[in-house]
Chains A and B, each alone.
Chain A
Amino acid sequence: MDYTSLALITAIPFLVAPIYDSIERKVKAAIQSRIGPLGLARSFLQSWFDLIKLFSKELVLTSYGMALITILELLFVSITVVILQIFLITPQLEWVIALLITFLSISSAFSLIRAISLDNPFSSIGAFREFYVTLAVEGFFLSSLAIMLLVEEPIIIKMLLFCIAALSCYVLSGRTPFDIAEAEPEIASGVYIELSGPLLATTSYSLHIRRYVLAEILSYTLLKLIGIAGTGFASLITLLLTPITWIVLGVVSVMLGRTRVDVGPITLLKVMLILIFLMFVAMIFVVRLV
């Protein structure tokens, strides 16, 4: 594989993430019986327009720490997505998988750093909410992902692992009901309250890319579940499947309301534990059978 195509493939997420987001908005609008962004260009590019507009606004810095974290967050998600793209091309290299998982965990650690770096009561509440949600799924997500990518296991276990991964992908993508960290009506946008202009743009761009990462991982694990991962063809399918996964996640979120911090994470934890328990049961069965 030459360098141009490598560059191209790694560039894709940075370009298409806001486009997918625009499409999600259009689809959501349709479910809410609205027209949504008007016209063909806006249907696909509205989020890009929004980002550009935000970038062109004046910069207001409430604290340098905020700015630093915002930029670092973007940096680390970007590295994650680049590694993810490399992984897509060369799924055999185990060190890439290791790197991918490391960076996934680093980039979500930033939400936790936010929790301690803010002084505003609303954003601290928001950050702590994010903390709880991340805590409830992150560990399960990374371990199930690692097992899935590194080990070949029987289909039933694969299915359970996929369930865990899919649920975590949904939760970590910050959609309702798990958008409690930025609940606009409750805590005035929580973690985003002190962001505006270019900083807000940076943060939402990071969010778009994070969603891209999660959607692509989910698409990949789906292929893995079916058993066609690992070829160049499969990589292409993954790329094509990503927007569909993205939008499916979006559609699910339209039909739900926002959860509460003392309900959501605990329910999640319970579901996760049930899934893990089922997995153990399945494993025992499989071992017996063999």
Chain B
Amino acid sequence: MQISRIASPLKLLTIALKVGRVTKKYPFGPPLLTESFRGAISIDPAKCWGCGACTLVCPPNALTMRLEGEKIVLEYFKGRCIFCGMCADTCPANAIIVTKEFELAATSVEDLKEDVIHKMSKCAICGKPFVATAEIRDVMKMQPITEEYANICPECRKKRAVKAFGMRFGAST
């Protein structure tokens, strides 16, 4: 009993012999990922509408939107991304897929940023750019609304509605 207890640390050798070497010669050899692994996301610029829904759910603000003149830019900053995949779950256009990419080191911050640039449509009434062109295009495919309606910015839409409402009740405009 006592002897076997004293000799017990020696069993390490048998364990080691049985297990062999488990460390891998990374980065050589096959990737060590499972099928569910979530890595960096990739945004398909052809599918993206530029609606900005993803920027609202992204917990660390890795996805942001900014206006640059008449363009709307969706920026993905990998340095902040926590690879949660919330954006992919939310995107109405299914433009985002979660890849298995995880070796993301870069020598400059700029290399960690990706931009999706959208042209903005101008409002048919006031002429202000208000929404990404792609969004109008795709929303119109899905919803039975006329181009005439979709091409107007919410501001003007409101004004127009008020006007129509007023006219119905005979207000003089």
Contact = CB atoms under 8 A, between A and B. Distances in A.
Contacts of B23: 33-35
B20 A33 contact: yes
Interface in A28-66: 29-35, 38
Given A255-B9, A255-B10, A256-B9, A32 B16 contact: yes
Nearest to A257: B9
Contact of B19 (A33, A38, A255, A256): A33
A38 B10 CA distance: 26
B168 interface: no
Interface residues of A, number: 12
Contacts of A30: 16, 21
Closest 3 CB pairs of A and B: A255-B9, A31-B16, A34-B23
Contacts of B9: 255-256
B12 interface: yes
A151 B22 CA distance: 51
A256 B13 CA distance: 12
A175 to B, nearest CB: 15
Contacts of B13: 31, 251, 255
B12 to A, nearest CB: 5
Interface in A226-274: 251, 254-256
Interface string B98-139: 000000000000000000000000000000000000000000
A33 B17 CA distance: 8
A33 B22 CA distance: 6
> What class of interface size applies to chain B in its complex with A?
10 to 19
Most B Cβ at <10 Å: residue of A30, A31, A33: A33
A38 B28 CA distance: 12
Nearest to B22: A33
B12 A31 contact: yes
8 contacts: A30-B21, A31-B16, A33-B20, A33-B22, A35-B21, A35-B25, A255-B12, A256-B9
A33 B18 CA distance: 10
B21 A33 contact: yes
Nearest to A32: B16
B166 to A, nearest CB: 79
Interface in A104-127: none
B10 A34 contact: no
Contact of B12 (A29, A34, A38, A254): A254
A254 B25 CA distance: 23
B31 to A, nearest CB: 18
Contacts of A256: 9
A251 B22 CA distance: 19
A43 to B, nearest CB: 13
Contacts of A32: 16
A33 to B, nearest CB: 5
Nearest to A254: B12
A34 B22 CA distance: 6
A31 B23 CA distance: 12
Contacts of B10: 255
